[in-house]
Amino acid sequence: MSTQDRIDDIVELLREAALDASVWSAASALIDDLRGRIGMLLLDRDGQIVEANDRAREALDRKDGLTVRAGRLTAVRSGEADPLAALLDAACRAGSRGSMPIARPPQPPLVVYATPIATTGEIPWGRRLAARVLVSEPFSPPPVNATCVSAAFGLTPAQGRVVAGLASGGTVASIAAATGRTEAAVRWHIREALGRLGLSRQADLVRVVLSTLGVFDDGD
């Protein structure tokens, strides 16, 4: 059975099961967020793959640095398997966010981003969605939609653009250049957004954005 067949079977079980509507809605929204742009998988608390978008399935079928063993995402190279397992376990069980490169010679390495997510309702066999895994090309952080960020957090359009830029891996200087603002203005918008969300650190702001449903650019 191919990796895609395995994942398709999991998806079919989810569709047929008496799944809490709020969880299935959350899962569907997450999968649709990044269609065609970046690989994404949803994991349960045990690290089992619950759902994956087409880009992720294609990469897994090609064994493009990543593969599936016993229903879990792992690295093709043995030396990367344990660090990846630790990264995913931390996201699924400890609520930690992190990333690591995955080699796939002769091409540049992929970057795996693991982010905890929170949903309500039970999924089959008592499992819950626990983590979102994004797989991207190097130096291409997950694209975040500024309009969606503004709507999700009640930010002004200017604040939303700055926060989306931060969450997409931008710096104050690069965001200033991209938006035609001064670096001082960008820092001011960051402070305003932090205050509105009751946060004190940029890292926490990025973590909150990347853990929120519906903020990723779908590429349309």
97 and 168 both lie in a single domain: no
Is the pLDDT at 216 greater than 70, yes or no?
yes
pLDDT band at 142 (very low <50, low <70, confident <90, very high): low
Cβ count within 10 A of residue 126: 8
What mean pLDDT do residues 88-110 have?
88
- Does this model's pTM top 0.75? My answer is no
User: Sorting pLDDT into bands at 50, 70 and 90, what band is 5?
Assistant: very low
- Residues 106 and 150 grouped into a single domain: no
Q: What's 203's domain CATH number?
A: 1.10.10.10
Helix (H, G, I), strand (E, B) or coil at 42: strand
Confidence of residue 3 (pLDDT cuts 50, 70, 90): very low
Provide the token pair at 209: 């954005």
| pLDDT single digits (tens) 112-126 | 989 888 654 444 444
Residue 118 contacts residue 105 (beta carbons within 8 Å): no
DSSP 127: B
CATH of the domain at 18: 3.30.450.20
Q: Which amino acid is at 39?
A: G
Assess whether 130 and 162 both reside in one domain. Answer: no
Q: Is 73 part of any domain?
A: yes
Instruction: Tell me if 218 is assigned to some domain.
Output: no
Distance CA(54)–CA(211), nearest Å, equals 21
C-alpha distances out from residue 161 to 33, 131, 186, Å: 18, 25, 10
In a domain? residue 184: yes
> In the chain, what is the straight-line distance between the N-terminal and C-terminal CA atoms, in Å?
33
